[in-house]
Structure 1
Amino acid sequence: MATEIKAPTFPESVADGTVATWHKKPGEQCHRDELLVDIETDKVVLEVLAPVDGVLSEILKPEGDVVLSSEVVGIFEEGASAGASSSSVADASAQPTSSVDSSLEEPILSPAARRMADEKGIDHAAIAGTGKGGRVTKEDVVRHVEEGGPVVSAPAAASVAPAASAPKVEATAPVFSGERVEKRVPMTRLRARVAERLVQAQQNAAMLTTFNEINMKPVMELRAQYKDVFEKRHGVRLGFMSFFVKACVEALRRHPVVNASIDGNDIVYHGYQDIGVAVSSDRGLVVPVLRDTENMSLADIEAKIREYGKKAMDGKLGIDEMTGGTFTISNGGVFGSLLSTPILNPPQSAILGMHKIQDRPMAVNGKVEILPMMYLAMSYDHRLLDGKEAVTFLVTIKELLEDPARMLLDV
């Protein structure tokens, strides 16, 4: 019985999607809930699974095609068997063994694994797959790198071989001379959408950035004192981000206009603090949202951030996890950034930028001390926030973090 394979039902905020990767070929046997195709939208990659056991009989929307919500992308033959595939396998087994090592055959890689392997120049055939049916996952690529496996891909290795032993290049393949090689790849929908929103934010808001610096020594000492006990009790590591989230929650309570947004000629004040945390992924920048952070403990925040980070790297974040948000925190310090001016995440009115912790000589009570300092940057929409409100908000965060007991005592 023929069954239509349809694209997922997109939410109202997503107009269409693009067929990213077909994981099955026409005539190939599929099992129930096995991955058939990835549909990439502006925000997430959605997976379409096989409804039952059977065979993918026809692909109606090849890779790169734009699809609408619930549009038919292929035809699935329920209960059928891949006779053609089986016979081809039998024929192949009857042929003499090729001189090429079977270990060099191209394995099946997940989209995230393929992107990481290509970025790091790893030969696909050198990665041991632990997924279903020998499928190579992103974790397999990470493990391959950590274990010191070969990281030079087959094409790269061939390029450094002597010219006399180099194989002939097909006429259709581009030939480059020297080292001035260029590569053109299409921008992912997510990165294109992020670029569009960042430009809109700069064009539609009166954006201004204010700076301050914070002595991280009190938080670092508190973390060093309790991190082992914290991890043993809660099962997650105690990081700095949870302290900043809690400080922002308290500061947003004291300065509700920073938590507000502009809607036409109205100002919308939010009676809750949903804080977005900017996360870098292979596909681009994503901002999953921590809901109701005013009710979350440090352990809850750390666990949720860790979960979001893993989902972002695997491309598993849902649209509902990245929509909304009343305030955003971006941490460029993990990459070594000392100072930056973060861009607003519309329709939010403010964003906090964290940076690298660096030892610097500071004047303390008339004496010079070496302290671990961090620059904080807060970009805000000057249409809604005046300089006094923005600076006072940032000073509140500074005071709370330089004396963490303030957050417990509400002073």
Structure 2
Amino acid sequence: MIIEIKVPSPGESITEVEIASWLVSDGDLVTKDQELAEIESDKATLTIAAEQAGKIKILLEPEVLVEVGAIACTIDTSIVPKEGAEPVTPKAEEKVKTTEESKPDVKEKASVPNELSKVKVSPVAQNIMEDEGWTVEDVVKGLHRISKKELEAVKNNVNSAVSSGLENEPKERALDRNKMSSLRKKLAQRLVAVKQETAMLTTFNEVDMTNIMALRKKYQSLFVEKHGVKLGFMSFFIKASALAMAKHPMVNSMIDGDEIVTPNYVDVSVAVQTPKGLMVPVIRNTESMSLAQIEDTLKQLAVKARAGKISLDEMTGGSFTVTNGGVFGSMLSTPLINPPQSAILGMHNIVERPMAVNGKVEIRPIMYTALSYDHRIIDGKDSVGFLVTLKKMLENPELMLTGGDELEKLVLDL
């Protein structure tokens, strides 16, 4: 029986997708639930799986836009791989054959003198030798006669090796061209639109990470033992941001036509770098989550995003974004807003810097933070106030229990 495998829909509003690559070849024997291809939309990357075992016939070319619902391939279920055996694809057979053919003859290799086996060959020379089918012995025999030129070359190579330890082999000049994926093209369009459609400003502050680092060092093993996940820096920033929204709700707001929409929850989008580009899965209701819950959810979403298994629903609906350029060594940046959101918090690397503490200079681990915001609805008071509140809670994590309020003020009902 012939069954049809159709292109799935990544979301209601998406009508076209791109088949990024086929994971099998035409004519392969596939098993049930085996991944056949990767498809990309402007929102997410998904995979197509085999509904039944059989022989596959590919109908759509890769890197071409196709309509959702189109027949991507067919599977002939009357031809199935033997039970308990891995299906051997034409690609695999060809690879095995090529590998076997490319193996050097053991006798031929053994005939090469030990002295010649120590001769160093540059990558460029090695490629030429492989193309011509030559060995080091063939090259040496082909010289016939050693001249002054060869001796000078040896002398120069020895001196060069002593002085630098590197071969001064010139690199080949080449251009590598790769087609932009649908995901990358859509991301590029959105980034340009942000600059054109928002009145974006960025405000900065610095955070002394001493107490958070001490807290992680002291309780990391107990935290992992109880919750099964490591305590990172991201959860502190996400939780502190959610709590700071209570005092500065405009940072969590967005424009919808002529209205300003302010949700009573904080769904934080977290920027995750993947092989397919930047993705922003959403952690929902962070205002009511613990640090452990945030870390666990973040880990699950990041793994799914990098594996291309994340769904469209898991990347939509965020009200605020946190991005961490510090993992790449960034000292300071002005992150771009993720529309329709109105603000994004940028984290950066932690560097030991001299700080004035109680009239004395001390070396402290400092992180610069940046808040980019849409000035059409967020004023300087809210943007700066938000970062100040965030700074207070991060430098004194116990204030997260009071939403950033000092304990003395709560006692005095101030």
TM bucket, shorter chain:
0.7 to 0.9
Residues 372 and 163 (structure 1), Cα distance of their counterparts in 2 relative to 1, 3 Å cut: closer
Question: Aligned equivalents of 1:342 and 1:273: distance in 2?
Answer: 19
Equivalent positions of 1:187-226 (< 5 A) are 187-226=180-219
Residues 4 and 87 (structure 1), Cα distance of their counterparts in 2 relative to 1, 3 Å cut: closer
1:61 and 2:60 equivalent?
yes
SS of the aligned residue for 2:273 comes to strand
Aligned residue in 1 for 2:111: none
The residue type paired with residue 12 of structure 2 is E
Question: Aligned equivalents of 2:100 and 2:48: distance in 1?
Answer: 36
Question: Aligned equivalents of 1:273 and 1:189: distance in 2?
Answer: 29
- Residue 9 (structure 1) shift: 2.2
Question: Aligned equivalents of 2:175 and 2:230: distance in 1?
Answer: 42
Aligned residue in 2 for 1:359: 352
Aligned residue in 1 for 2:131: 167
Identify the match of residue 405 of structure 1 among 392, 398, 401.
398
Question: Aligned equivalents of 2:364 and 2:334: distance in 1?
Answer: 23
SS of the aligned residue for 1:4 comes to strand
Runs of 4+ in 1 over 6 A off after TM superposition: 85-89
Question: Aligned equivalents of 1:99 and 1:278: distance in 2?
Answer: 46
Question: Aligned equivalents of 2:216 and 2:89: distance in 1?
Answer: 62
Question: Aligned equivalents of 1:10 and 1:240: distance in 2?
Answer: 32
- Residue 409 (structure 1) shift: 2.7
Question: Aligned equivalents of 1:255 and 1:384: distance in 2?
Answer: 12
Equivalent positions of 1:254-273 (< 5 A) are 254-273=247-266
Aligned residue in 2 for 1:12: 12
Asked if structure 2 preserves the Cα contact closer than 8 Å seen for 1:27 and 1:82, the reply is no
- Residue 88 (structure 1) shift: 8.8
Residues 377 and 88 (structure 1), Cα distance of their counterparts in 2 relative to 1, 3 Å cut: closer
- Residue 78 (structure 1) shift: 2.3
The residue type paired with residue 100 of structure 1 is S
Residues 63 and 290 (structure 1), Cα distance of their counterparts in 2 relative to 1, 3 Å cut: same
- Residue 258 (structure 1) shift: 0.8
Instruction: Note the residue ranges of structure 2 that are not aligned, 5 or more in a row.
Output: 105-120, 134-169, 406-414
RMSD (Å), alpha carbons: 2.7
Greater mean alpha carbon deviation, residues 190-199 or residues 9-18: 9-18
SS of the aligned residue for 1:76 comes to strand
Aligned residue in 2 for 1:127: none
Question: Aligned equivalents of 1:329 and 1:6: distance in 2?
Answer: 36
Aligned residue in 2 for 1:22: 22
Aligned residue in 1 for 2:102: 100
Question: Aligned equivalents of 1:253 and 1:52: distance in 2?
Answer: 52
- Residue 255 (structure 1) shift: 1.1
Equivalent positions of 1:7-406 (< 5 A) are 7-56=7-56, 58-81=57-80, 99-101=101-103, 159-162=123-126, 164-167=128-131, 179-406=172-399
- Residue 23 (structure 1) shift: 2.4
Asked if structure 2 preserves the Cα contact closer than 8 Å seen for 1:52 and 1:79, the reply is no
Greater mean alpha carbon deviation, residues 289-298 or residues 34-43: 34-43
Asked if structure 1 preserves the Cα contact closer than 8 Å seen for 2:25 and 2:89, the reply is no
Asked if structure 2 preserves the Cα contact closer than 8 Å seen for 1:288 and 1:321, the reply is yes
Asked if structure 1 preserves the Cα contact closer than 8 Å seen for 2:28 and 2:88, the reply is no
Question: Aligned equivalents of 2:267 and 2:182: distance in 1?
Answer: 25
Greater mean alpha carbon deviation, residues 71-80 or residues 278-287: 71-80
Q: What whole-Å deviation, never above 9, does each CA across 1:72-95 have from its counterpart, x for those lacking one?
A: 112222233479x99999x99xx9
- Percent identity, aligned pairs only, is 47
Q: What whole-Å deviation, never above 9, does each CA across 1:247-286 have from its counterpart, x for those lacking one?
A: 0010112211111100111111111110011111111111
Question: Aligned equivalents of 1:187 and 1:357: distance in 2?
Answer: 34
Report which of the two structures shows the higher radius of gyration computed on alpha carbons: 2
- Residue 163 (structure 1) shift: 6.2
Question: Aligned equivalents of 2:335 and 2:33: distance in 1?
Answer: 41
Asked if structure 1 preserves the Cα contact closer than 8 Å seen for 2:53 and 2:75, the reply is no
Residues 101 and 179 (structure 1), Cα distance of their counterparts in 2 relative to 1, 3 Å cut: closer
Question: Aligned equivalents of 2:126 and 2:7: distance in 1?
Answer: 48
Asked if structure 2 preserves the Cα contact closer than 8 Å seen for 1:337 and 1:356, the reply is yes
- Residue 179 (structure 1) shift: 2.6
- Residue 161 (structure 1) shift: 3.2
- Residue 328 (structure 1) shift: 0.3
| Number of matched pairs | 344
Question: Aligned equivalents of 2:261 and 2:233: distance in 1?
Answer: 30
Residues 87 and 11 (structure 1), Cα distance of their counterparts in 2 relative to 1, 3 Å cut: closer
SS of the aligned residue for 1:253 comes to coil
The residue type paired with residue 334 of structure 2 is T
- Residue 98 (structure 1) shift: 5.1
Residues 242 and 18 (structure 1), Cα distance of their counterparts in 2 relative to 1, 3 Å cut: same
- Residue 14 (structure 1) shift: 2.5
Residues 163 and 18 (structure 1), Cα distance of their counterparts in 2 relative to 1, 3 Å cut: closer
SS of the aligned residue for 1:254 comes to coil
